[in-house]
Amino acid sequence: MNALKISKGTSRKSAYNLRSTLGDTVETHTIAVLVDNEAGVLARVIGLFSGRGYNIESLTVAEVDHVENLSRITIVTTGTPAVIEQIKAQLARIVPVHDVHDLTVEGPSVERELALIKVIGTGEKRVEALRTSGVFRANVVDSTLSSFVFELTGTPEKIDAFVELMRPLGLADVARTGVAAIARGQ
């Protein structure tokens, strides 16, 4: 308390509001981690997130260099800027980690996800599902008299939009790979 009996930060319009407005915003970041392709590395990375209560929105892992025995882990996570910085610093300290890149802040990047979407329906709903798939450039990879399985590649937002449009048309199941991302240019 000060002489005016106003506690600091009690009002957003107060002259005494000293809280940073930048630190409170929750942001989504895509982080690419280059690691040794060996047993237990993924468990250590996941343990870092779960042990501190951080959430992983998307996770993809694949070997990217067979000769050097390296894998790339792409993680989409959310948090305040301070939390994201802490995650990157802690990832960099894990021994089998070679490189950590925050693709969200390092410049333009390309993000894609693959989804398989099963829609069950007959009649007009079946025809509408097929029309909508054409708009989204989804491929039909399986077809029966009562169902379709669509393959769709694109941004997570594009896949979300397609899934929402398929709900009233008989959406039965969705399988998603998670985000794969890479920096653009040099």
Q: Cite the DSSP H helix spans in 122-168.
A: 124-135, 156-166
Give the pLDDT confidence score for residue 1 in this predicted structure.
46
Closest residue by Cα to residue 119 from 178, 177, 176, 174: 174
Per residue in 55-91, pLDDT (tens digit) is: 999 999 999 999 999 999 999 999 999 999 999 999 9
Closest residue by Cα to residue 76 from 28, 33, 121, 117: 28
Answer whether 26's CB lies under 8 Å from 79's CB.
yes
Q: Say whether 159 sits in a helix, a strand or coil.
A: helix
Amino acid at 34: L
Give the pLDDT confidence score for residue 186 in this predicted structure.
77
Closest residue by Cα to residue 119 from 166, 73, 57: 166
Q: Using a cut of 0.95, tell me whether the model's pTM lies above it.
A: no
Q: How far apart are CA 131 and CA 95, in angstroms?
A: 50
Give the pLDDT confidence score for residue 4 in this predicted structure.
52
Q: Which domains does the chain have, with CATH numbers?
A: 27-102 (3.30.70.260), 109-183 (3.30.70.1150)
Give the pLDDT confidence score for residue 23 in this predicted structure.
57
> How would you write the pLDDT of the chain (186 residues) with one tens digit per residue?
455 554 544 445 544 545 555 557 899 999 999 999 999 999 999 999 988 889 999 999 999 999 999 999 999 999 999 999 999 999 999 989 999 999 999 989 999 999 999 999 999 999 999 999 999 999 999 999 999 999 999 999 999 999 999 999 999 999 999 999 999 987
The secondary structure element, H or E, covering residue 43 is helix 41-52
Extract the tokens encoding 169: 């048309």
Q: How far apart are CA 115 and CA 98, in angstroms?
A: 30
Give the pLDDT confidence score for residue 5 in this predicted structure.
53
Q: What angle do CA 55, 32, 162 make, to 5 degrees?
A: 65
**Phi and psi at residue 111, in whole multiples of 5°?**
-120, 135
